Amino acid sequence: MCKKVKLTSKRNKVYRLLEDEGNSILKTFIDKEDMKRELSILRLLHGRNCRVPEVLKVTSDSIYLEDLGDETLLDWYESIEKTNADSILPMILKLSDWLEAFYDTLSSSKYGNYIMGDVNFRNFLIKDGEIYGIDFEQCREGKIEEDLGKLAAYSLTYDPMMTDWKKNFVKLLVEQLSMKLDISKDAISSEMDKELIKIRLRRKKK
Ligand SMILES: Nc1ncnc2c1ncn2[C@@H]1O[C@H](COP(=O)(O)OP(=O)(O)O)[C@@H](O)[C@H]1O
Ligand SMILES: [Mg+2]
């Protein structure tokens, strides 16, 4: 017997399938080109130093993926700010390592100058203490500092916004990303400022 549980998704239909043989994730795409891009990047990244879910099955409009469990990076982030239960640096290091491996792998493929595009904290999952990346349909050509600036802007603006704790997190995050990916802190901050303006406009419209 198979039970389907709908998951929070921004663009597509994403379900957790609960079956006797184990769980899997079903992602049904609205756009076929997006699906092609995501599948091709998932296959490229598989087995490299940046962890991604395994592709289990593909149909004309859907990808079945390994279920990595429930914990998103946003869950970790929100809980750690509330409880202070864990130190933040190890997770920042893991995120920087994941991104370094991601850009390295893409740069030596046909996706030469591609970046992740959508780096919101729900697009990283944590399983057994390790970071996995998901959701590659928005990957596009761009500058790495665009991703890094967005990561910093999102870090600051999750609810509750701009707390001292979040400002300290972003300081450490930007320092680490800058060192690891060899991109100046100024370049990251400038992209962060651009994204903060966009976020403000988006929220005003709502
Ligand atoms: N392999 C997976 N394992 C566990 N949860 C997943 C997996 N893939 C997606 N999810 C969950 O479903 C949500 C939506 O998936 P995502 O690929 O980001 O779709 P969308 O592009 O529509 O946002 C994710 O934020 C995550 O919570
Ligand atoms: Mg997503």
Predicted confidence band at 5 (pLDDT cuts at 50, 70, 90)? Answer: very high
The pLDDT assigned to 87 comes to 87
User: What are the E-state strand segments in 128-193?
Assistant: 130-133, 140-141
By three-state DSSP, how is residue 71 classified?
coil
When pLDDT is averaged across residues 11-36 and rounded to a whole number, the result is 96
Q: Using CA atoms, how far apart are residues 129 and 79, in angstroms rounded to an integer?
A: 15
When pLDDT is averaged across residues 36-60 and rounded to a whole number, the result is 97
The pLDDT assigned to 4 comes to 95
Phi and psi at 153, nearest 5°, equal -65, -40
Question: Which sequence spans correspond to the domains of the chain?
Answer: 2-66, 73-205
Phi and psi at 68, nearest 5°, equal -95, 10
Ligand 2 center from residue 9 Cα (angstroms): 6
For residue 160, whether the previous peptide bond is cis, meaning omega lies within 30 degrees of 0, is yes
What is the overall mean pLDDT for the chain?
A: 96
The pLDDT assigned to 96 comes to 98
User: To which H or E segment does residue 146 belong?
Assistant: helix 144-157
Find tokens 């690891």 and name the residue. 180
The pLDDT assigned to 2 comes to 86
pLDDT in tens, 163-198: 999 999 999 999 999 999 999 999 999 999 999 999
The pLDDT assigned to 206 comes to 78
| CATH 1.10.3470, applies to 73-205 | no
When pLDDT is averaged across residues 135-158 and rounded to a whole number, the result is 98
Ligand 2 center from residue 124 Cα (angstroms): 9
Query: CA angle at residue 113 from 111 to 117, to 5 degrees?
Result: 90
Nearby residues of 50 by Cβ (< 8 Å), 6 or more positions away:
98, 99, 101, 102, 105, 133
The pLDDT assigned to 84 comes to 83
Look at ligand 1, atom 25, and give the residue with the nearest C-alpha: 122
Position 159 pLDDT exceeds 90: yes
Predicted confidence band at 3 (pLDDT cuts at 50, 70, 90)? Answer: very high
* Percent of the chain surpassing pLDDT 90: 94
Are the C-beta atoms of residues 78 and 163 closer than 8 Å to each other?
Answer: no
Look at ligand 1, atom 1, and give the residue with the nearest C-alpha: 67
Judge if the beta carbon of residue 177 lies within 6 A of ligand 1.
no
CATH of 2-66, one of 3.10.450.50, 3.30.200.20, 3.40.190.10, 3.90.1150.10: 3.30.200.20
User: What are the E-state strand segments in 119-175?
Assistant: 124-127, 130-133, 140-141
pLDDT in tens, 66-98: 999 999 999 999 999 999 877 899 999 999 999
